[in-house]
Amino acid sequence: MRSILIVIGTLLVLAAVAMPLVWSDEDREAWLEYGRVSTGVALLSSPVYKEECGSCHMAYPPGLLPTATWQKIMSGLENHFGDNAELDNETQTKITEFLVSNSANQSNYRRSRRFAAVDDKSEASMRISETPYFIHEHDEIPSRLVTGNREVTSFSNCNACHRKAEQASFRERDILIPGHGKWDD
Amino acid sequence: MKTTYLFILLFTGLATGNVAAETSTINELLNLYKQQGAATPNAQAGQRLWHKTFTGTVPFTERSCTSCHGDDLKRVGKHVKTNKIIKPMAPSVNPGRLSKTSKVEKWFKRNCKWTLDRECTATEKANILVYLKQL
């Protein structure tokens, strides 16, 4: 019995060692890609996006909203959630292109697929925090930890609790709610 | 020894180059505002406007430049809505300020519209610019 276990064990170890050698580069790329895809949304940066949008708020990863919503937001910058965020035409076009070409609809990342699943475009909210998937993910969090929390104040401050939000990681283990601690679902 | 001199020359060259660039941006803007009909810039008037309170819509019924930039321009401010930290406005502590024409004009446009509910006049912009540059 014992010798059978040893044989099986040795085979498993050999298989693990040999896998990268047997695998083609394509397999390996697919595996790496899957590893990233499973983490949530794509980490993408654009200097102009970071400069223009990121000076007032976190530069939200484009994979958090569907194409139609980004277009709606970018066409009404004079009244941007109560603030004026006007841009010159060239910059506006550049940023819109960046957001639209990397929107949730264009992404294979796990969470982006969920954010893209909004069919009723006319009813789509312009706020990430009002999308069905966002609400689904946050509906168990008591408001005292967010709106009632001086260090958070709003669901729009992703990085107040999602400490790696700016690296596009929204994993549960990276959550640290100020004054509360880790979040356990 | 020779190289030390060269380095000193190089660094003074770079340093004065930077200062010159910033001054030239401010002068460029002041010239532009003058062409647009601005009166002689007045730093005190700029200071008064900077601290003046304007009426706005809910939830920010009282609006001023200080709403986001804070009272001490040598220290960081905080965006009144998003809480994002805004770097100090005073060029003495934040040399990048007032160093790019298009940036100054962009923020004047956005922020005057939010704070005053209209664009600032050329005179107002010139006044604020001369107030800020001496800080």
Contact yes or no for B110 and A86 at CB 8 A = yes
Q: Which of A96, A42, A100 is nearest to A67 (CA)?
A: A100
- Tell me the mean pLDDT in the region A125-153: 91
Which of A73, A60, A160 has the alpha carbon at shortest distance from A112?
A: A60
Query: How far is the C-alpha of B83 from the C-alpha of B88, rounded, in Å?
Result: 15
Separation of first and last alpha carbons in chain B: 38
Owning domain of residue B8: 2-133
Residue A1 CB partners (closer than 8 Å, separation 6+): none
What is the structure's pLDDT at A119? 61
Instruction: Choose the closest CB to B82 out of A84, A88, A157.
Output: A157
Tell me the C-alpha distance between B73 and B76, whole Å: 7
pLDDT (tens digit per residue) in B61-83: 999 999 999 999 999 999 999 98
Instruction: List all residues 6 or more positions away from A106 whose beta carbon is below 8 Å from its beta carbon.
Output: A67, A100
ipTM for the whole predicted complex goes beyond 0.85: no
For range A41-57, the mean pLDDT: 91
CA distance A173 to chain B (A): 24
Segments making up each domain of chain A, as ranges: 47-128, 140-185
Q: What is the pLDDT of residues B84-126, one digit of tens each?
A: 999 999 999 999 999 999 999 999 999 999 999 999 999 999 9
B81, A82: Cβ pair inside 8 Å? yes
pLDDT at res. A38: 56
Confidence of residue B17 (pLDDT cuts 50, 70, 90): very low
Residue with tokens 């294979």: A108
Rounded to the nearest angstrom, the minimum Cα separation between B10 and chain A is 30
- CATH of residue B98's domain is 1.10.760.10
Which residue among B86, B109, B114 places its CB closest to the CB of A83? B114
